[in-house]
Amino acid sequence: GMSVPQFALFIRVLKERRIILKEGITEVFTFFSRHFYTDKAAFISAQNLLKRSTDVVFSTVLTLWDTLEGMMNWLDDKFHVCTYQRSV
């Protein structure tokens, strides 16, 4: 599972890539803090998530990178994405 800092950065990536809305960001972090938890934190405050999403340690970036790369590898294993020719 993800640590709280990794989860917070993941939410920020979703926001920055416009997968979730940038507006109402306090409400977004409140939603995630109420409905999600990590292996080590059964309760996560919205304020802590928001703080951790902007106060980022580089080792957290590297760990999230590895997680996202693993997700892409899973997609490739299941759907052979790398062999698909994309149109520009």
Q: Which helix (H) or strand (E) holds 13?
A: helix 4-16
Cα of first residue to Cα of last residue in the chain, in angstroms, is: 36
- In angstroms, how far apart are the furthest CA atoms of the chain? 44
Q: By the 8 A CB rule, do 3 and 40 touch?
A: yes
pTM given for the model: 0.90
- Cα–Cα distance measured from residue 59 to residue 61, given in angstroms and rounded to the nearest whole number: 5
pLDDT digits 0-9 by tens, 46-87: 999 999 999 999 999 999 999 999 999 999 999 999 888 887
